[in-house]
Amino acid sequence: MKKIALSGLLLSLLTACASQTTKPVAPVTPAADASATTGKPGTAASAEVDPLDDPKTGLTYRSLYYALDVDVIQDADKPLVAAHAKYLSTHPARNVRLEGNADERGSNEYNLALAQRRADGVKKLLLLGGAKEGQLTSVSYGEEKPRNTNHDEDGWAENRRTDLNYAK
Protein backbone atom coordinates (compact mmCIF):
# COMPACT_ATOMS: atom_id res chain seq x y z
CA MET A 1 0.00 0.00 0.00
CA LYS A 2 1.34 3.34 -1.03
CA LYS A 3 0.66 5.11 2.26
CA ILE A 4 2.23 2.36 4.27
CA ALA A 5 5.37 2.60 2.20
CA LEU A 6 5.39 6.33 2.69
CA SER A 7 5.09 6.01 6.43
CA GLY A 8 7.98 3.55 6.42
CA LEU A 9 10.09 6.11 4.62
CA LEU A 10 9.06 8.82 7.07
CA LEU A 11 9.90 6.52 9.94
CA SER A 12 13.39 5.98 8.67
CA LEU A 13 13.75 9.74 8.32
CA LEU A 14 12.54 10.06 11.86
CA THR A 15 15.04 7.55 13.10
CA ALA A 16 17.76 9.39 11.24
CA CYS A 17 17.09 12.64 13.05
CA ALA A 18 15.80 11.22 16.28
CA SER A 19 18.50 12.88 18.29
CA GLN A 20 17.35 16.35 17.24
CA THR A 21 13.61 16.12 17.44
CA THR A 22 11.16 14.55 19.78
CA LYS A 23 8.33 14.85 17.30
CA PRO A 24 7.04 11.76 15.59
CA VAL A 25 6.64 12.36 11.92
CA ALA A 26 3.33 11.20 10.54
CA PRO A 27 1.66 14.00 8.62
CA VAL A 28 -0.54 11.62 6.65
CA THR A 29 -4.03 11.48 8.11
CA PRO A 30 -3.92 8.20 9.94
CA ALA A 31 -7.57 7.25 10.13
CA ALA A 32 -8.04 5.03 7.09
CA ASP A 33 -4.76 3.21 7.39
CA ALA A 34 -5.07 2.69 11.08
CA SER A 35 -8.40 0.91 10.80
CA ALA A 36 -7.07 -1.16 7.93
CA THR A 37 -4.02 -2.39 9.76
CA THR A 38 -4.71 -2.45 13.45
CA GLY A 39 -6.29 -5.90 13.37
CA LYS A 40 -2.98 -7.62 14.03
CA PRO A 41 -0.65 -5.29 15.86
CA GLY A 42 1.18 -8.14 17.55
CA THR A 43 1.68 -10.49 14.63
CA ALA A 44 4.49 -8.66 12.90
CA ALA A 45 6.77 -9.15 15.85
CA SER A 46 9.51 -11.23 14.42
CA ALA A 47 12.28 -11.58 16.95
CA GLU A 48 14.02 -8.24 16.42
CA VAL A 49 11.41 -5.83 15.08
CA ASP A 50 9.45 -3.93 17.69
CA PRO A 51 5.86 -3.80 16.40
CA LEU A 52 6.04 -0.09 17.13
CA ASP A 53 8.56 0.28 14.34
CA ASP A 54 6.84 -2.10 11.94
CA PRO A 55 4.82 -0.19 9.34
CA LYS A 56 2.51 -3.16 8.96
CA THR A 57 1.15 -2.75 12.48
CA GLY A 58 -0.14 0.79 12.01
CA LEU A 59 1.66 1.80 15.17
CA THR A 60 4.00 4.04 13.21
CA TYR A 61 1.05 6.41 13.05
CA ARG A 62 1.36 8.42 16.22
CA SER A 63 -0.64 11.59 15.64
CA LEU A 64 -4.33 12.34 16.07
CA TYR A 65 -5.94 15.36 14.49
CA TYR A 66 -8.86 17.51 15.64
CA ALA A 67 -11.43 20.01 14.48
CA LEU A 68 -11.10 23.65 15.61
CA ASP A 69 -11.67 24.17 19.34
CA VAL A 70 -12.49 20.47 19.78
CA ASP A 71 -10.72 18.01 22.04
CA VAL A 72 -12.88 14.93 21.38
CA ILE A 73 -11.06 12.13 19.58
CA GLN A 74 -12.52 11.50 16.16
CA ASP A 75 -14.21 8.11 15.75
CA ALA A 76 -11.87 7.28 12.90
CA ASP A 77 -8.88 7.68 15.23
CA LYS A 78 -10.17 5.41 17.97
CA PRO A 79 -8.82 2.18 16.42
CA LEU A 80 -5.38 3.80 16.30
CA VAL A 81 -5.55 4.68 19.98
CA ALA A 82 -6.82 1.16 20.75
CA ALA A 83 -3.87 -0.35 18.89
CA HIS A 84 -1.42 1.74 20.92
CA ALA A 85 -3.25 0.83 24.12
CA LYS A 86 -2.91 -2.84 23.26
CA TYR A 87 0.77 -2.42 22.47
CA LEU A 88 1.36 -0.64 25.77
CA SER A 89 -0.51 -3.31 27.70
CA THR A 90 1.68 -6.01 26.15
CA HIS A 91 4.86 -3.94 26.49
CA PRO A 92 4.71 -2.69 30.08
CA ALA A 93 8.27 -1.38 29.92
CA ARG A 94 7.38 1.14 27.21
CA ASN A 95 6.37 4.66 28.17
CA VAL A 96 4.70 7.22 25.99
CA ARG A 97 4.33 10.96 26.26
CA LEU A 98 1.08 12.40 24.94
CA GLU A 99 1.80 15.83 23.54
CA GLY A 100 -1.22 18.01 22.86
CA ASN A 101 -1.03 20.87 20.40
CA ALA A 102 -3.42 23.56 19.22
CA ASP A 103 -3.55 25.98 16.36
CA GLU A 104 -2.84 29.63 17.09
CA ARG A 105 -6.44 30.85 17.07
CA GLY A 106 -7.59 31.67 20.58
CA SER A 107 -5.43 33.04 23.37
CA ASN A 108 -2.16 31.27 24.13
CA GLU A 109 -3.41 30.22 27.54
CA TYR A 110 -6.74 28.96 26.22
CA ASN A 111 -4.88 26.96 23.61
CA LEU A 112 -2.58 25.52 26.26
CA ALA A 113 -5.65 24.34 28.17
CA LEU A 114 -7.36 23.01 25.04
CA ALA A 115 -4.30 21.04 23.94
CA GLN A 116 -3.86 19.66 27.47
CA ARG A 117 -7.44 18.43 27.26
CA ARG A 118 -6.64 16.77 23.92
CA ALA A 119 -3.64 14.97 25.41
CA ASP A 120 -5.59 14.02 28.54
CA GLY A 121 -8.39 12.61 26.36
CA VAL A 122 -5.95 10.32 24.54
CA LYS A 123 -4.50 9.29 27.91
CA LYS A 124 -7.97 8.33 29.16
CA LEU A 125 -8.66 6.21 26.10
CA LEU A 126 -5.28 4.48 26.38
CA LEU A 127 -6.04 3.65 30.01
CA LEU A 128 -9.40 2.23 29.00
CA GLY A 129 -7.63 0.15 26.38
CA GLY A 130 -5.31 -1.46 28.87
CA ALA A 131 -2.32 0.88 29.21
CA LYS A 132 -1.17 1.60 32.75
CA GLU A 133 -1.07 5.04 34.37
CA GLY A 134 2.67 4.78 34.95
CA GLN A 135 3.32 4.39 31.22
CA LEU A 136 1.58 7.62 30.30
CA THR A 137 2.45 11.28 30.66
CA SER A 138 0.28 13.96 29.11
CA VAL A 139 1.58 17.44 28.39
CA SER A 140 0.44 20.41 26.36
CA TYR A 141 2.42 22.65 24.05
CA GLY A 142 -0.63 24.75 23.23
CA GLU A 143 0.12 26.85 20.16
CA GLU A 144 3.77 27.24 21.15
CA LYS A 145 5.33 24.47 19.06
CA PRO A 146 3.62 24.59 15.68
CA ARG A 147 4.73 21.84 13.29
CA ASN A 148 3.40 23.95 10.45
CA THR A 149 4.16 27.66 10.79
CA ASN A 150 1.82 28.79 8.01
CA HIS A 151 -1.02 31.01 9.20
CA ASP A 152 -3.68 29.28 7.10
CA GLU A 153 -6.24 26.48 7.27
CA ASP A 154 -3.79 23.78 6.21
CA GLY A 155 -1.21 24.90 8.73
CA TRP A 156 -3.78 25.16 11.51
CA ALA A 157 -5.21 21.70 10.71
CA GLU A 158 -1.77 20.15 11.02
CA ASN A 159 -1.19 21.85 14.38
CA ARG A 160 -4.42 20.64 16.02
CA ARG A 161 -2.89 17.40 17.09
CA THR A 162 -1.93 14.98 19.82
CA ASP A 163 1.34 13.13 19.26
CA LEU A 164 2.19 9.83 20.90
CA ASN A 165 5.88 10.22 21.64
CA TYR A 166 7.39 6.96 22.86
CA ALA A 167 10.40 7.13 25.14
CA LYS A 168 13.39 5.54 23.48
One-letter amino acid of 133 = E
Residue 59 C-beta: closest distance to another protein, Å: 23
One-letter amino acid of 19 = S
Which residue lies nearer to another protein by CB, 79 or 121? 121
Q: b/e string for 62-86 if b means 16 or more Cβ within 10 A?
A: bbbbbeeeebebeeebbbbbbbbbb
Residue 143 C-beta: closest distance to another protein, Å: 9
Which residue lies nearer to another protein by CB, 56 or 117? 117
For residues 152 and 127, is the Cβ–Cβ distance under 8 A? no
Residue 146 C-beta: closest distance to another protein, Å: 10
Which residue lies nearer to another protein by CB, 59 or 98? 98
The binding site for another protein (CB under 8 A) comprises 69, 105-110, 112-114, 116-117, 120, 137-142, 144-145, 151
In angstroms, the Cα distances linking 151 to 69, 140, 147 are: 16, 20, 12
For residues 69 and 160, is the Cβ–Cβ distance under 8 A? no
For residues 61 and 30, is the Cβ–Cβ distance under 8 A? yes
Which residue lies nearer to another protein by CB, 8 or 106? 106
CB-CB neighbours of 19 under 10 Å: 8
Residue 65 C-beta: closest distance to another protein, Å: 20
Residue 140 C-beta: closest distance to another protein, Å: 5
Which residue lies nearer to another protein by CB, 94 or 105? 105
